[in-house]
Amino acid sequence: MGATIIVGGFFGDEGKGKIVAHIAFADRPAIIARGGIGPNAGHTIEMRGRTFGVRMVPAGFVYPSARLLIGAGVLVDPRVLLSEAEALGVTSRIGVDHRCAIIEKKHVEADVHDPYLSQTIGSTGTGCGPAAADRARRITAQAHDIAELAPFVTDAAAEVNEAIEAEKNVILEGSQGFGISLFYGTFPFVTSKDTTASQIAADVGVGPTRVAETIVVFKTFPTRVGAGPFHTQMSEDDAKKLGIREFGTVTGRERRIGWWDPSMAKYSAMVNGATQVAITGLDKLDPSVKGASEYADLSAKVKAFLREAEVQVGVPFTLLSTGPEMAEIIDLREEKLLRA
């Protein structure tokens, strides 16, 4: 057994939060650990009629039995983390790696007031870029320096590796997406770190030999917020005809909407080393499938899309999301992975 990594295959906001929440309830992990950049992420989870938005606490928090961890690679804004953890009632089970670098108010100010970051790049204004720069200059504080974080600091890498060693289920949650990776994305219109599966494993302190599954999440109609090229972007008119409008969880900015991009999906699955694909937004392709939880209930149009996309990407599509609610999903992992 090893860890399962969940990452975004397009430009972020693919619905990783929803997929993590489903997998957590289905697989009952001992630990859900977050990698990724920091509080620039915004995961949305809809469960039993309630909607949660999280930026620092792992999206898998909705599953009440897991230990929640934030890996050493993640930038932590203590104000965001503490207010979220208290509001969600998870203070008794969340841990922060003692080596996490700290986002201070000055980083947020620098992000918001630097015209290059805030206007040219269109950053989220959460201080991540300036804090990542200071981390590379080796001048940031770390979690073990911050009094308010004292009750939560831990060695997340040790906890996760001990759990994997004991054959417990562990989920490593990524954030952002392939197209905004500092290394592989549309530079310079990218975030401040790599976003691929290898990075998420490194963020949490898990070696490549300890990863069992890598699930790359795509959405039927990719979206992009902030500046930068988006070659399958559709016109506002087309988006309106399809009835698709999305707004960012962190910034509230309207997301640009695009058509399914098979070549980006294939490339991103390759660099991520995907063993499975999760696809969200099948209900946007065909509203008649909204809420379906059985493959047989999908329409001919959706089945044709899935067959073609699976051939294009070359990786089994195991998790098929038919709406934002956690239960709106078809989980084919058992049958598809046994067959493969």
Tokens of 58: 């792992």
- Asked if 42 is part of the footprint of ligand IMP (rule: CB under 6 A), the reply reads yes
Residue 173 interacts with Mg ion (CB under 5 A): yes or no: no
Is there binding between residue 123 and ligand GTP (CB under 6 A)? Answer: no
Q: Using CB under 6 A, which of the segments 186-194, 229-237, 263-271, 322-330 binds ligand IMP?
A: 186-194
Under the criterion CB under 5 A, does residue 14 sit at the interface with Mg ion?
Answer: no
DSSP string, 137-204: TT---BGGG-GGGTTTEE-HHHHHHHHHHTT--EEEE--S-GGG-TTTSSTTSS-SS--SHHHHHHHH
Fill in the DSSP letter of residue 118: I
Q: What is the dihedral of CA 6, 10, 12, 14, to 10 degrees?
A: -70
Residue 6: burial class (beta carbons within 10 Å; 0-12, 13-18, 19+) = buried
Q: Which residues are catalytic?
A: 13, 43
Indicate the DSSP class of residue 313.
H
- Choose the stretch contacting ligand GTP; rule: CB under 6 A; options: 8-16, 108-116, 129-137, 310-318: 8-16
Backbone φ, ψ for residue 283 (5° rounding):
-70, -15
Site for ligand GTP in 200-259 (CB under 6 A): 249
Q: Does 169 bind ligand IMP (CB under 6 A)?
A: no
Binding mask 217-256 for ligand IMP (x = CB under 6 A): --------xxx-----------------------------
Q: Does 323 bind ligand GTP (CB under 6 A)?
A: yes
Beta strand ranges found along the chain (DSSP E): 3-8, 31-34, 43-47, 50-54, 67-70, 75-76, 94-97, 101-102, 153-154, 170-173, 211-219, 223-224, 256-257, 276-280, 317-321, 329-331
| Rounded Cα–Cα distance for residues 25 and 114 (Å) | 42
Q: Interface with ligand IMP includes 15 (CB under 6 A)?
A: no
Q: Which residue is nearest to ligand IMP (CB)?
A: 226
Choose the contact partner of 46 out of Mg ion, ligand IMP, ligand GTP, none; CB within 5 to 8 A by kind. ligand GTP
Cβ–Cβ < 8 Å for 37, 175: yes
Among positions 7, 96, 121, 204, the unique one binding ligand IMP when judged by CB under 6 A: 121
Of 5, 10, 13, 134, the one binding ligand IMP (CB under 6 A) is 13
Q: In this chain, which of 161, 169, 191, 196 binds ligand IMP, going by CB under 6 A?
A: 191
Tell the smallest beta-carbon distance from residue 144 to ligand GTP (Å). 26
Alpha-carbon distance values, 256 to 226, 234, 246 (Å) = 9, 8, 8
Please report where in the chains the tokens 């906001």 appear, as a residue.
13
What residues make contact with ligand GTP under the rule CB under 6 A? 8, 12-18, 41-44, 46, 175-177, 249, 280-281, 283-284, 321-324
Q: Interface with ligand IMP by CB under 6 A: which residues?
A: 12-13, 37, 40-42, 121-124, 126, 128-129, 175-176, 180, 189, 191-192, 225-227
Residues near Mg ion (CB under 5 A): 13, 42, 249
